[in-house]
A = this chain, B = another copy of it.
Amino acid sequence: MKFNTSGSSMSISSEIAPEFKHRLLAIVGEENFSDQSIDLVSGSYDASRHRGRPWAVVWPRDSESVAGILALAQQERIPLVPRGAGTSLTGMAVPARGGLVLDMCRMNRILEISIKDRVAVVEPGVVYEDLQKALSTQGFFFPPDPASGKVCTIGGNVAANAGGLHGAKYGSTREYVLGLEVVIPGGKSMSIGTRTMKCSSGYDLVHLFVGSEGTLGVVCQVTLKIDPKPTAFATTLAAFPSLEAAGRAVSEIMSCGVIPSVCEFFDSNTVKVLRQHGGLSLPHSEALLLVETDGIRQEEADLHMSVIMDVLSTCKTTQVRKARDRDEAQEFWRHRKNLGGLKNLLASGWASEDVTVPIGSIAQLVSGIDRIVKSKGLGLMMFGHAGDGNFHPVILYDRQTSSHEVLVHEAVQEIFRLGLELGGTLSGEHGIGMEKAPFMAWEHDEPSLAAMRGIKALFDPHNIMNPGKMAMG
């Protein structure tokens, strides 16, 4: 494993040249352009700790405008940063090198829901929850389930290959993107992928764009595979005497013959937060698992849960109980999704991570993270999508104590190294962005990185697409 600790470039302050602005306005119209301070500030951050001021913000209305912008920007070598709802935790939507923010929120039409074809066709600015509501009325859903679903956009989900609570059973965004309309630097449009359930025709360009963090081109249309929405659920809560016991239980559950629809992990600090701020009646414990099974009828969800209950009966637990009813279960999930916001209540500073390991290594990961963070004298709140080995340790610290920032930096790097040593990856669902760009060489070997950079140069020879992200230029 090689170490590369060079940081990614930070933002460059600049203003938009009058001639360029003039040409840009001719493409998007005055009402879809701003270089006012308030919009530049809005476009300068996302949910990460990174910041970078753009020169202007544009709101494209259609793929023709996007093509015009990409032709002009290529000519003038202007950095472009596509933006959804700005919920990225890795700085994916932050202008690392100035340029234009392409805020896609006005391309937000659900173009088609075809239950017969089992697809939904949407523009990238469609809000995740709006799509789910529209699908729900027809008994279908888009299975990935990011915690930011109330506000995040489908375009952002595609850029990050978003995951969420349902990953273990249903997979991530990548598994549901059948086709894309993308505009690449220079302004050419490509229609890639298909509307069919399967395809073996040429190289898979669709999956190359999913998770590419806006570094290859701008997604203007997404064709998603959709699934029948389960209508029955069973939810169980299991408390454990140690992190390790909970980690082992996850491995046992995931190999028992039933894949639960959700298997969420909470450490004791998370439990505390959920009790205090969520008002949830959770048992005091070192670790909790919240497990859900689903089906088309209650007896199916119950049948699957009974297999999991058998497994739990052989595990070291301190308490196992079923949710009283669907309302209580939904309370759990609502508070689970708010956890990201609650970390601010615990400490003035926090660093949220997204490490993922093979399922059999979960016990080692969670006890290792706990050891690393405690050895630095820092606080920890840890939760995650245990069913697919994806954990979000949140390191808590005091922003006023200057030595803390160094310790957090060290702890994060030790966590990355631990995850990779256990056969894991830097990111399960948040992507690389600016946050993890310096660590790409820890995970990927040199020929792989060279191949990725070759692909970047093929689509974006002048590095105008979201530069400074993913260590791609």
Residue numbers of A with Cβ under 8 A of B are 114-119, 139, 160-163, 167-168, 171-172, 174-175, 184, 188-192, 194-205, 207-208, 210-212, 227-229, 231, 251, 254-259, 295-297, 299-300, 303-304, 307, 356-361, 387-390, 423-432, 436, 440, 443-445, 447-449, 451-452, 454-456, 458-459, 470
Chain B contacts for A258, CB-based, 8 A: 228, 296
Contact check, B171 vs A205: say whether CB atoms are below 8 A apart.
no
Chain B contacts for A115, CB-based, 8 A: 255
27 A-B Cβ contacts within 8 A? A114-B358, A116-B358, A116-B359, A117-B359, A117-B423, A139-B257, A161-B199, A171-B175, A172-B198, A172-B200, A184-B447, A188-B447, A189-B445, A191-B445, A192-B448, A195-B358, A196-B356, A196-B389, A196-B423, A199-B428, A200-B430, A203-B208, A203-B456, A204-B207, A204-B211, A228-B257, A295-B300
User: Beyond A184-B447, A360-B114, is A390–B198 a contact (Cβ under 8 Å)?
Assistant: yes
Contact check, B211 vs A208: say whether CB atoms are below 8 A apart.
no
Contact check, A198 vs B163: say whether CB atoms are below 8 A apart.
yes
**Bound Cα distance from A407 to B423, whole angstroms:** 55
Q: Least Cβ distance of A181 to chain B in Å?
A: 10
**Bound Cα distance from A357 to B259, whole angstroms:** 30
Contact check, B257 vs A201: say whether CB atoms are below 8 A apart.
no
**Bound Cα distance from A427 to B202, whole angstroms:** 9
Chain B contacts for A296, CB-based, 8 A: 257-258, 303-304, 307
Chain B contacts for A194, CB-based, 8 A: 356, 423-425
Chain B contacts for A196, CB-based, 8 A: 356-358, 388-390, 423-425, 428
Q: Least Cβ distance of A418 to chain B in Å?
A: 14
Contact check, B174 vs A254: say whether CB atoms are below 8 A apart.
no
Chain B contacts for A190, CB-based, 8 A: 445, 447-448, 451
Contact check, A470 vs B428: say whether CB atoms are below 8 A apart.
no
Chain B contacts for A204, CB-based, 8 A: 161, 174, 204, 207-208, 210-211
Chain B contacts for A200, CB-based, 8 A: 160-163, 172, 211, 425, 427-432
Chain B contacts for A431, CB-based, 8 A: 200-201
Other than the known A161-B198, A195-B423, A200-B427, what 17 A-B pairs have Cβ atoms closer than 8 Å?
A: A116-B255, A117-B358, A117-B361, A163-B200, A171-B175, A191-B445, A194-B424, A196-B428, A197-B359, A198-B356, A200-B211, A200-B430, A201-B440, A202-B432, A229-B257, A454-B458, A455-B458
